[in-house]
Structure 1
Amino acid sequence: MALRRLSGVELLARHEDARRVYAEAFSGPPWSEDASAADGIIRRLTDDATRLGFTAAGAFRNDRLVGPATAWTRWPVPAADLRQCPRGDQLLGWTQATHPACVDTGITVFLGPRHPARTAVTLPL
């Protein structure tokens, strides 16, 4: 298996693989999503790939995408402004699972509202 960083264009060129991975991952319990959810993720990905700071990575086996990941390297507004209002992830039920050590460095992982490990996350004080 090989990991590679991808641009939005490169990931969208592999949208069929990304759709297949999503469908396989979320069609069974506890999510039990139907095929339209996989179609929806590709529609959102098409929009997301053009957003400021979009980045992606992929796990490949024999040049086939078997594990896509997406993120944004920056928010569209300064971080100081974000601290003054409820974060969108909190409003949508996402839980922050990791906390970077320094401002603007490191990786932050969020677990979705239906993620099975969401309740195991230690919440900040």
Structure 2
Amino acid sequence: MTAPEVHVVGGAGLEAHADALRAVYAEAFCAPPWDEDPARAEEFAGRLPASVRCPGFRAAVAVRDGEVLGFATARTTPSPFPADRCYPQAEAGLGAERTAAWLVGAREVEELAVRAGARGTGLAARLLTAVTADAPAGRCWLLTSVRAPRALSFYRRQGWIQATHPSPDGQGTAVFLGPRHPSRSLVTGPL
């Protein structure tokens, strides 16, 4: 079996794979530990046309023999810092000053998903690198759920550092700074 090829794609290339990306998203996130409603896969697909027009947008798609096995998307975090989705939790964990200094204007990994059969092969690491390797001044970050211990471990193994603690009840999200983020030295442990 041939190794999957990882391609960095632009808007048209990504939209050409929209149905396959929706299927990969559903397989990755509508199952434990994420347990998202299947409608979220449709929401993701609906956001793609707007996402590709965001400043700094990057996407990578992993394909083997014509089948999409995974993808990653990233963009430049806008100013002002977004107030939708999980962003308020990130800002609450870091505080407004750190959020503005560390995250705004940095490359944010929005989505990273790999089909179940391709997990554990290094494909997720390749996709993550494809969308972050050229982050200006190494400034990249992401949010992930604290209910996903495999994801938390994966990012740590890739050299990312957790910058926020979850809420006391173990729910919510954690902010991770990339391996070359200049502010990572300011994180002595999750804030």
TM-score (norm 1): 0.70
1:47 aligns with: 50
CA distance in 1, matches of 2:53, 2:5: 25
1:17 aligns with: 20
Instruction: Give unmatched runs, 5+ long, in structure 1.
Output: none
- Alpha carbons of 1:44 and 1:115: their partners in 2 closer, same or farther (altered >3 Å)? farther
Note if contact 1:93-1:112 (Cα within 8 Å) is conserved in structure 2.
Answer: no
Note if contact 1:93-1:113 (Cα within 8 Å) is conserved in structure 2.
Answer: no
State the Cα distance separating 1:53 from its structure 2 match.
1.6
| Cα deviation digits, residues 57-110 of structure 1 (max 9, x gap) | 1111112221111112x4455xxxx7xxx77675244888xxx9xx92236241
In percent, how many aligned pairs have the same letter?
A: 28
Q: Secondary structure at the match of 2:49?
A: helix
1:104 aligns with: 136
CA distance in 2, matches of 1:57, 1:111: 18
| RMSD of aligned Cα (Å) | 3.2
1:60 aligns with: 63
1:33 aligns with: 36
TM-score (norm 2): 0.48
Instruction: Give unmatched runs, 5+ long, in structure 2.
Output: 94-102, 104-131, 164-186
CA distance in 1, matches of 2:50, 2:57: 10
